[in-house]
Amino acid sequence: MTSERKYVVGITDHMIGEPDLEADVLGGDVEIDFFASTDETSFAPGRLARLDALMVWGARLGPKSIAHLARCKGVVRYGVGYEKIDRAALAAAGIPFANNPDYGTEEVADHALAMILSLHRRLWEHDAHARGYASGWQVHSLKPLSRSNKATVGVVGVGRIGTAVVNRLKPFGFRILGYDPGQPPGHEKAIGYERMDQLKDLLAQSDVVTLHCPATDETRGLLDADGLSRLKPGAIVVNTARGELIDDLGALDTALRSGHLAAAAIDTLVKEPPDDHPLLTAWRNREDWLAGRLVITPHNAFYSDHAAVEMCRNAAKTVRILLNEGKLRNQVTDIS
């Protein structure tokens, strides 16, 4: 017999169907109100007012909705990023907020490493050009092409995912630089990378730069025109973090066309799906000048069948602990 329902947990939207996994974790004393919408304007005030907790996937959450969360003990985002959540409005309403950082680390690190190795070995360029070779074969090897142990990879952000990337890079023999002011002294010794105190020094020395930091006031536009110009000529950029880190597609286009940037691999864009842009048109049309030099995946670096389950269960577990103990794990207190 089902126990009496004493809590109501809202779920705005979902990527993998009905929230059955969450229901299993939350238990029989929780009623789930599934909004099934990313459109914040569709969230009825009466439904919001009865929630003890709210779980958010892809929807925005702004002041108008937050004003109706009269009994809400906490808001939990399924993912790591929280650009769509008005944390200042939540703080003003006295509602704590948490993200869900402990899922998909392996997947994002694997995705980034696959991009790094494939662009470093120029696999996609070889594939694109090989289709047109009518004579000769091995003579068409692209140059320059260095050994892994003669190349330097700069890791911007050496937290959970950045650390996992460092650990995956080490067996290949890359020289590994790391930039992360948030990590304590000695972190580089424990993990095994060279700490860079200045981002500009990492950019200038790295053959590959891979981004693993959140989008903040300090990091948005990190690789704008100026940032890209600081890269070592012929460098490769990989971004599996946040689209806002490379928010100027025009600057990226210029860097690729000039050859200053050898190649780029991107999993996250500022707007998804992206609007039309000359660079994206060239990518979609497989234009010769860009062949194999720009790789875009549809914001799925985090995904595996296992990670999708882990995401749902971990977010629901955070809510269950909140309801049971009044404690919100993975709470985000910075509202910048």
Active site residues: 242, 272, 299
Answer left, alpha or beta for residue 144, where phi above 0 means left and psi between -120 and 50 means alpha: beta
Q: How far apart are CA 163 and CA 178, in angstroms?
A: 9
**Distance between CA atoms of residues 293 and 125, nearest Å:** 6
Residues 35 and 49: their CA atoms lie apart, in Å, by 13
Element of type H or E holding 150: none
The token pair at 13 is 């939207």
DSSP category for residue 13: -
Tokens of 117: 């190795």
Read off φ and ψ for residue 47, nearest 5 degrees.
-70, -40
C-alpha torsion sign, points 241, 210, 172, 137: positive
Q: What are phi and psi of 127, to 5 degrees?
A: -60, -45
Burial 35-63 (b: 16+ CB within 10 A, else e): beeeebeebeeeebeebbbbbbbebebee
Q: At 43, is the secondary structure helix, strand, or coil? A: coil
- The tokens describing 247, both together, are 């928010």
Q: How far is residue 229's CA from residue 209's CA, in Å, rounded to a whole number?
A: 13
